[in-house]
Each structure stands twice: as C-alpha cells, then as structure tokens.
Amino acid sequence: MSYETITVEQRDAVTLITLNRPKALNALNSKVLEELTEAFAAYQADSSQLCAVLTGSGDKAFAAGADIKEMSEKAAADFYLEDFFSPWTSEIVKKTRKPWIAAVNGFALGGGCELAMMADFIIASENAKFGQPEIKLGVAPGMGGSQRLTKAIGKSKAMEMCLTGRMMGAEEAERSNLVARVVPHDELLDDAMKTAAQIAAMPPMAAIANKEMVNAAFETSLDQGLVIERRIFQILTASEDKKEGMAAFVEKREGKWKGR
Ligand code: CAA
C-alpha cells in the first residue's frame, strides 16, 4: 500500500512507520491520522510482522502536534460531529494488540506527545522534547494527553505541564517515567529497531499477552488486574510455545515459536 504522509517499511518481522511531513514538523493532519490508522491495521493483520516502531522523519520532530492550520479552519460543530481524533486514535490503540514502540527523535508536542504515549513504550533521543502546549492555543489536550500524561508522570508534573505548556527534555522525561530509555540521537532508530527485533523474536502470543496484562494495570483495580494476569498466564500454559519454550530451556537451545 502506498501512503502520502507516512512511509511504511518491513524489516524482517519489524514494521517501521515514519511520519513524513518534515517541513511541517510532522504535524498530524487528518490525512496522517487516517494513514496511520491504515498502517497500524495492516501491521496488526500481517502475521509475519511481530513488532512495530513509529518515528518521525527529519532531525527535528517526532510530531509537533495536531495540525494547527487544519484545526484553525474547523468549527466546533465539525470537531463534535466528527468526534475529532477518536475515529483514528481509538482505533490504533484498541485494535493494535501486537507491540509497538515510539522512537521519539525531537519535538513530541500536543498530539505528538499523545501519539507517543499511545505506544507500548517510548525510546527517546537525547534531543527529544515533550509537552502539552495546547493551553497556549486556547484549547487543551484532545488525544488523551491529560489522562495518559497524568498516569505516566503523576498529577503534579502533568498539571504543571498542561497549565504552563512548558516542554520537558529527554533526561527529565526518563526520570519522570515518561520514557523507557534515552539514547544518543544518532543511535535512536538503530536502538529502537534492535529492541523491536528482540521483541519480535519472543513467542508472539506471549508478547500480546504481556502487553494485555500490563495495560490492564491502567484500566482495572489491583484485584481485577491480578485475576486478569492469572487467567492469561493459565491460558498461555496451554500453548504450544509454552511447551517449546520450557523444553528449549531444559535442552539448552533456542526456542522455535509457532505463535500459538
Ligand atoms: N501544526 C501545523 N504546522 C506546524 C505545527 C503544528 N502543530 N508545528 C509546526 N508547524 C509548522 C510551522 O507552521 C512551520 O511551517 P512554515 O514553515 O510553513 O511556517 C514549520 O512547521 C516549522 O515550524 P517553526 O518555524 O515554528 O519551527 P521552530 O523550530 O521555530 O519551532 C516548535 C518549533 C516550537 C515546535 C513550533 O513549531 C511550535 O510551537 N509548534 C506548535 C506546537 C503546538 O502547539 N502543538 C500542539 C498543537 S494542538 C494539538 O496537538 C491538539 C491535541 O491535543 C491533539
């Protein structure tokens, strides 16, 4: 499939999706979000693909937000009637059961920060800058930022960032648990692709199950989360990959996965 605003490449079992509007700092207009939704659906549907990486083209930005020029033309009724952002972003989050990583290479602001936070985890370049500056435009986060940022870094910092619109650098983002790791700028893509390849080499059903369990921690009480964890664990013990994984350990060899 060919796209106008993103590029998609398969490297062995890893899908690399790149936001590709560098002149607009990869701002997320409707076309980008529509194409991203298609690309994530294609990744989810392709059984040869086991992990994905999302990054931004150019040296400056992952994505500097939703496209302000496009939004400035829209009336409130358009946003409301189109349930703006939801058709794309909810689809990506809910329907991508397989793992994916955001490799944040520069500005991740507004919708860009929110898109990065939809990933299973973030690897950031030392040049990355995160922020929810919507308040400066007379609005507020609209793709989950007020919720995901608060869950990631806590109320005090999230509130400060939303109310002042200030940016957070990579080092602070790592210290605040917004990102998993910070790496030198030139090594970002390589590092993210290697990490993705490492995940892609795991038993695929166990990868989906691990993702589902960790996400349950955000959506349920501890008691409910523990039940979900136990049930998924018990289901996995019936898989062919469990048999193979444990046999491979005992026989001191690499496992060969069937994904079931
Ligand atoms: N939408 C549309 N275009 C954008 C954009 C955005 N979010 N961010 C940057 N651009 C465009 C600029 O208009 C500029 O285009 P032109 O060359 O045609 O003028 C180009 O990208 C380069 O940007 P700058 O010249 O501004 O670059 P800079 O290095 O001086 O500044 C920046 C970089 C600090 C990131 C600055 O561009 C900026 O503040 N961008 C807007 C950030 C923002 O407010 N994001 C939130 C958007 S609202 C949102 O996302 C809602 C939501 O919750 C979903």
Q: Is 93 in contact with 118 (CB distance < 8 Å)?
A: yes
Question: Is there an atom of ligand 1 within 6 Å of 134 CB?
Answer: yes
Nearest alpha carbon, ligand 1 atom 41: 64
Overall residue count recorded for the chain in this entry:
260
Ligand 1 pocket check for 69: Cβ under 6 Å:
yes
Helix axes 240-250, 204-219, angle to 10 degrees: 110
Q: Which residue has the tokens 């998993």?
A: 180
Long-range contacts of 8-12 (CB under 8 A, 24+ apart): 8/39, 8/42, 10/46, 10/48, 10/49, 11/193, 12/197, 12/200
Whose alpha carbon is nearest atom 10 of ligand 1? 24
Catalytic position from the list 39, 112, 114, 124:
114
- Residue 230, classed as helix, strand or coil, is helix
Specify whether 244 is catalytic: no
Query: What is the arithmetic mean of pLDDT over 162-167?
Result: 98
State residue 87's pLDDT score.
Answer: 86
How many angstroms from the chain centroid is the CA of residue 227?
A: 26
The CA 36 to ligand 1 mean position distance, Å, reads 19
Ligand 1: atom nearest CA of 67 is 1
**Nearest-angstrom CA–CA distance, 203 and 51:** 12
The answer to whether residue 142 is catalytic is no
pTM check: above 0.95: yes
| Interval 18-77: pLDDT, tens | 999 999 999 999 999 999 999 999 999 999 999 999 999 999 999 999 999 999 999 999
Q: Which residue's CA lies nearest to atom 12 of ligand 1?
A: 24
Please confirm, yes or no, whether 134 is among the known catalytic residues.
yes
Q: What is the DSSP string of 129-168?
A: EEE-GGGGGT----SSHHHHHHHHH-HHHHHHHHHH---E
Which pLDDT belongs to residue 126? 98
Q: What is the pLDDT of residues 75-90, one digit of tens each?
A: 999 999 999 998 888 8
Element of type H or E holding 111: helix 111-118
pLDDT at res. 173: 98
Per the residue annotation, which of 13, 66, 119, 158 is the catalytic one? 66
